[in-house]
Chains A and B, each alone.
Chain A
Amino acid sequence: MSLDKTKDFLLEIGTEELPPFQIGDLVSSLALNLEHELKKLALAHGPIKSYSSPRRLAVLISNLSHKQLDQPIEIRGPRIEIAFDSSGQPTAAAIKFAGLCGVAISQLDKIEDKKGALLFHKTIKPGQTAFHLLPEIIINSIKKLPIKRPMRWGKNMGPFVRPIHWLVAMFGQEVVPLEIFEIKASNYTFGHRFHHPDAIKISEPKQYENLLTEKGYVIADYNKRQQKIRDQILAATNFGSAVIPEGLLAEVTNLVEWPAALTGSFNQRFLELPKEVLVTVLKNHQRYFHIIDDSGNLLPNFIIIGNIESKNPKQAVAGNERVIQARLDDAEYFYHNDLRHDFANLQGKLKTITFQEGLGTIYDKTVRLKTISIFIASKINASVINTKQAAELSKCDLATSMVWEFPDLQGTMGYYYAGALENKEVAIAIKEQYLPKFSKDEIPASDLGCVLALSDRIDSLVGFFGINKIPSGDKDPFGLRRLASGILRIILEKNLDLDLKKALEIASLSYKNKFKNTEEIVAKTMDFIYERLRSLYLEQGKSSNVFRAVLSRMPTNILDFTKRFDAVTSFSQLPESEDLIENYKRIRNILDKTKYSGAGGFNLKLATEEAEKSMANIVINETKIIEELFQNKKYFLVLNELVKLKEPIKAFFDAVMVMCEEEKVRQNRLALLKSMRDLFELVADLSYLVSGNTTTVF
C-alpha cells in the first residue's frame, strides 16, 4: 500500500490522576485492543506506540489505511433444476436469489460442482473508510479495558477507571467524531496540571509527543520519563549512592508528568533506628529514594521526585523534611516504647490477637508452629533447640507498637527485638520466616529460617483448607497460592528432603480436635500443592505430560518428585522410549480388559513357550536390578533398564498367545504381564508420555 493512502492515527484519553500500578496495563491493553479491532476490520497499519502519564493514556498508530480492502464475495444460489422449470422459465427460487444479489437473473453466473450446476453470483464489497469505522473501533477498545475497580462520578457517569476530562481522536488532521461520557473528541490536548493547564492544539498526530514535551511540561513517553528520573537521581546524589528499587521507580514514574529531583535530609539521630524502619518510611510511605554509603549504611539524605519545577525548591524540600521528621519521631517513640518490654513476655499478648476466625489466636498458631517446625527441623538436620525457641518467639513482634504502626515490618522488628536475646540464628529465622513475600522474592538463607517459613505456610494452608476457605477461580483472598508456591520454592531451591504430606498431617493434627476429617484436608491440601507445582513447571516450559506421568505416582516428597520428573524427561528422549511405551500400553490393555487382579507372581514351571520362559527369566532378573535402583532413587537408571525389555517383549508377543485356552497357562501369562507392568509403573505412569492418551486426567 502506498503511503499517500495512509494517515497517522492518535487517541488520547485525558483523565484525573490514574492509579500508578494500573497505568501500564491500561495503556498496553488500549494499544492491543485497537490493534485487534483494526485487524478484525482488515485495516492495515504501521507501528503502534503508546504513551501514558498520571493523567493520560494515548496510542499513536502510524500509517493507518484510509480504507478497508475491497472484499470479493461469492454467493451460491439454488441448483439449476430448482431455479428453472421444465420449460426453462426461472422459478420463484431464482427470482428470490437474484433479488437478494440485487441483479437481474440474466446477470447471474452458473458454476458446476460435484452434484451438478447451480446459480452463482460474484461481487465485490467495497471497503469502508477508516474514518467511518474509527468511532466504533475506539469505543470498543475503550470498553474492553481491564479496569480493576471501575468508578462512577458526577451524575452517574462512567464506569471508568477515573473521570475523563478530554479526548483526542485524530485521523491525519481530522478529528474523529465521537463522544464518551459526554466528552467530545477534539484535536486539543492539555499539558501539565500546573505548568500548562491550557489546551494545546495538535495539527498532526505525529506532533503529539513533542508538543507535550516542548509546550506542555509533560513527558508522555513512559520510558523516557523513567530514564529522566534515573538521570536526575544520579545527578542529585552528591555523595554515597542512591538505591533505586524497580518497583518504586515504576510507581514514581507514574506519579509525575514533569519529574524534578530534590534532595532532602533528616536528623542524624534517627540513624539509630533499624535501617528497615527508615527505609519503610522513606520508600513505602513517602516514595523517596534513600542513599547509602560504600558499606551499605544508610545516610541521612534522600531524593524526592517532585512533579513541578518549583519556584522555591527550598520551601518544597523543607515541607518534605517536615513530614519525614514527624514520621520518624513517631517511629522512634514506638521503638523505644517496645524496647522497654521483655520481648519473650509478649507471647501472652498473642492470645488476644486472632489469627483467623475459626483458627484460633496467634498464640495458638505459635504452639502449632513449634510442633511442625520440630518435625521439619529433625528431617533436615536443623537445631531442634533453636527451632523451638524461634517458633515460640516467631510472632511476638505482632504485639509490638512498631508492627502495629508498620505492619510491613513484621519479622524484621522481631529480628531486632529478639536480637537482644543474643541468639543470632533464632533472630535471623524470625526475620526470614515471611520469605518469599512475592513470586520473585528471595527465600530464607538460613536453615532455621526455612524451617520456620515452611511451618508457617504449612500451618496456614492446612488451617484454611480445614475451614474451607479455598481459592476459587481468580479469587484467592488469603493468598494461599502464594503460600504453596513459597513452600515449593524453598524445598526445591534448598533441596530439602522432606515428606510434605507427613508435614501436612502433623500440621492438621496439631489443630487438635478442631478438624474431624483430617485425612481429607491433608489430601486436598496436597492436591492444591501439586497444582502449584504444575504451574511452576509449566512456567519453566516443562512438559505437562511428564508432569502428569509423575503425578500419577503421587510422590509426597517434592524432591523425589523432581528426581522422577527429570528421569522421565530424559527417558522420553531415548530413541526406544516410544516403542517401550507402546509395549507397556499393550500389556496394560490386556490386563485391564481381562480385569486381571491376580495376586502372587507367575510360576516359571508353568511357562510353555521358549519366548515365554526367556521373558520370565529376564523379568525375574530385571526386577531384582530395578528394585535396587528404585530403592536408591536412581530413577533414570530404572527407566533405562526397561530398554532391555524391548526386544524380549516383541519376541514374546510374536511367539506367545497370552489368551490361550488353557486356564492355568493363561493366568500364569497374565501374572507375567502383571510383573512387567509393575516394572513400568514404578517411577511414573509412562502412558501419559504419548499424545492422545485418554486416561482420566488428574
Chain B
Amino acid sequence: MHKKLYTFQDIILQLQHYWAGQGCVILQPLDMEVGAGTFHPATFLRALGPEPWNAAYVQPSRRPTDGRYGKNPNRGQHFYQFQVMMKPSPQNIQEIYLDSLRALSIDPLTDDIRFVEDNWESPTLGAWGIGWEVWHNGMEISQFTYFQQAGGLGCNPVSGEISYGLERIAMHLQGVNSMYDLVWSDQPSQLTYGDIFFQNEAEMSHYNFTHANVQNLLSQFVVYENDCKLLLESSLSLPAYEMVLKASHVFNLLDSRGAISVSERQNYILRIRALAKMVAETYYNERKQLGFPLLNKYEP
C-alpha cells in the first residue's frame, strides 16, 4: 500500500527534520525516567514565563502500570513520544502539524484525520490545557494542547504542545498489528521493535509488578521530596525539578506494585504537585532575575 517502508528510525528522522525546518531546536531525550514528553524541562519549565521557545525531541516514556509482559500488541510500560513545543503557539500550528503528517506520507484525503476534544491535565504537574486528541482513522495518534497553566502558573504567552505516539503512527505506516512487529531499521537486515525491546518489556513488567522494592521506594520518595525542598531553599530549581521527576517515577512504581491505596494515591499526587508548583515559581523567578535572556534571541 505504501511505496516506501518507513522504519521506526525513519519516522523519527523525518519528524526531526521536519520540525527543525519549522524553527525548532532538536533536543535529545531527557536522561531520566518520565511518563511523557511534557515532563522534559524543555516543555514543562520552558512553558513558564514570557520567553519564546521552539523545541522538538523524542522522549522515551515509562508508565509502569501499562506493562503487559510484552503480550499486548498495543500497550507497553515503555514507549516513545515525539514531542513538539512552540511558544507562543503559531496561528497556523494545526496546519504545521498536519503538514508533518503529510511529510510522513499520511494523506488526509485518504485517511480520516480529526481533532476530537480532549483537554489535557497533569495532576502531578499542576498543569492543564485545552486541546484535542488527533484521530487517524479512529486511532489517537497525537495529543495537541494549548497550555493554559503549568506548575500552577498561568501561561502567557501560550505554548502549543504536540505529542506524537510514535508506535501507533509506525504501526499504521507499516501496516502491522503489533508494535513488536514494527521494523526499527532495515539495513543491513531487518531489526524489529521486538528484537530490541521485547525482553525489556517482559523483564520490566516483572520488576514493576512484582520485584520493585516497596520499602525502598517508600523511603526514596521521602528523600526526594526533602531534597527537592532543600534545593529550592538554595534557589536551585533545575536540580530540584529532577527530584520532582524522581519522586514522580517512584510514585508510579509504587502504584504499579499496588502499594498505594486510592486515598493515599491522591495524597501522593498532591505532594508531587506541591513540589512542582514550588519548582515552577523558583524557576520563573530565576529567569526573571536573569532578565528572561531568550526574549532577545527570537526578536524578528
Contact = CB atoms under 8 A, between A and B. Distances in A.
B137 A319 contact: yes
A179 to B, nearest CB: 14
Contacts of A288: 138
B111 A310 contact: yes
Nearest to A152: B158
A315 B137 CA distance: 9
Contacts of B266: 354, 357
A360 B72 CA distance: 36
A426 to B, nearest CB: 26
A663 B263 CA distance: 70
A408 B37 CA distance: 29
A165 B91 CA distance: 8
B67 to A, nearest CB: 13
Interface stretch (A206-214, A325-333, A444-452, A514-522): A325-333
Interface in A147-163: 149, 151-157, 162-163
Interface residues of A, number: 50
A578 interface: no
A195 interface: yes
Interface string B124-141: 000000101000111100
Given A308-B112, A326-B73, A330-B74, A154 B261 contact: no
Interface stretch (A13-21, A456-464, A466-474, A609-617): A13-21
A163 B75 CA distance: 33
Interface string B259-278: 00111001000000000000
B138 A152 contact: no
Interface string A357-393: 1000100000000000000000000000000000000
Interface stretch (B24-32, B41-49, B115-123, B235-243): B115-123
Main secondary structure of the interface of B (DSSP, over half): loop
Given A154-B88, A330-B74, 15 more contacts: A16-B94, A153-B88, A156-B157, A256-B114, A307-B114, A308-B112, A310-B110, A311-B110, A315-B111, A315-B137, A319-B137, A322-B139, A329-B73, A354-B261, A357-B266
Interface string A127-159: 000000000000000000000010111111100
Contacts of B262: 352-354
22 contacts: A16-B94, A17-B116, A17-B132, A18-B117, A152-B156, A156-B88, A156-B157, A157-B158, A163-B146, A194-B113, A310-B110, A311-B109, A311-B110, A312-B110, A315-B110, A319-B136, A319-B137, A319-B138, A333-B72, A354-B263, A354-B266, A357-B266
A154 B90 contact: yes
A330 B72 contact: yes
Interface of A: 16-20, 54, 149, 151-157, 162-163, 165, 193-195, 255-256, 286, 288, 304, 306-308, 310-312, 315-320, 322-326, 329-330, 333, 352-354, 357, 361
Nearest to A311: B110
A329 B72 contact: yes
B148 A151 contact: yes
Contacts of B160: 153
B89 A330 contact: no
A318 B1 CA distance: 12
Nearest to A262: B112
Interface string B237-262: 00000000000000000000000011
B74 A319 contact: no
Contacts of A17: 114-117, 132
Contacts of B119: 149
B112 to A, nearest CB: 4
A330 B75 contact: yes
Contacts of A18: 117
A57 to B, nearest CB: 15
Interface in B136-181: 136-139, 146, 148, 155-158, 160, 171-172, 177
Given A312-B110, A330-B75, A154 B116 contact: no
B146 A151 contact: yes
Interface residues of B, number: 43
A430 B74 CA distance: 33
B195 interface: no
B186 interface: no
B271 to A, nearest CB: 15
Nearest to B92: A165
Nearest to B1: A315
Given A151-B146, A322-B139, A329-B72, A310 B89 contact: no
Given A151-B146, A307-B114, A308-B108, A352 B137 contact: no
Contact of B261 (A324, A353, A357): A353
Nearest to B138: A320
Closest 10 CB pairs of A and B: A319-B137, A354-B263, A17-B115, A151-B130, A320-B138, A306-B112, A352-B261, A326-B74, A194-B108, A19-B117
A383 to B, nearest CB: 33
Contacts of A16: 94, 115
Contacts, number: 121
Nearest to B108: A194
Contacts of B158: 152-157
B203 interface: no
B286 interface: no
A325 B177 contact: yes
B233 interface: no
A155 B139 CA distance: 31
B119 to A, nearest CB: 7
B74 A153 contact: no
Contacts of A308: 108-109, 112
A353 B91 CA distance: 45
Nearest to B136: A319
Nearest to A21: B117
Contacts of A255: 114, 116
A366 B193 CA distance: 47
A636 B150 CA distance: 64
B231 to A, nearest CB: 31
A14 to B, nearest CB: 12
B89, B114, B137, B139, most chain A CB atoms within 10 A: B137
A286 B139 CA distance: 9
Contact of A311 (B91, B107, B263): B107
Contact of B112 (A19, A149, A307, A325): A307
Contacts of A153: 88-89, 146, 158, 160
B156 A156 contact: yes
Contacts of A154: 88-91, 157-158
Contact of A323 (B109, B114, B137, B263): B137
A358 to B, nearest CB: 10
Given A17-B115, A154-B157, A357 B146 contact: no
Given A155-B157, A304-B138, A310 B109 contact: yes
Contacts of B109: 194-195, 308, 310-311
Contacts of A324: 138
A188 B143 CA distance: 30
Contacts of B138: 286, 288, 304, 319-320, 323-324
A672 B180 CA distance: 93
B157 A20 contact: no
A153 B148 CA distance: 8
Given A311-B110, A322-B177, A352-B262, A316 B137 contact: yes
B161 to A, nearest CB: 12
A153, A307, A333, most chain B CB atoms within 10 A: A153
A162 B158 CA distance: 13
Contacts of A316: 110-112, 137
A152, A162, A288, most chain B CB atoms within 10 A: A152
A311 B108 CA distance: 9
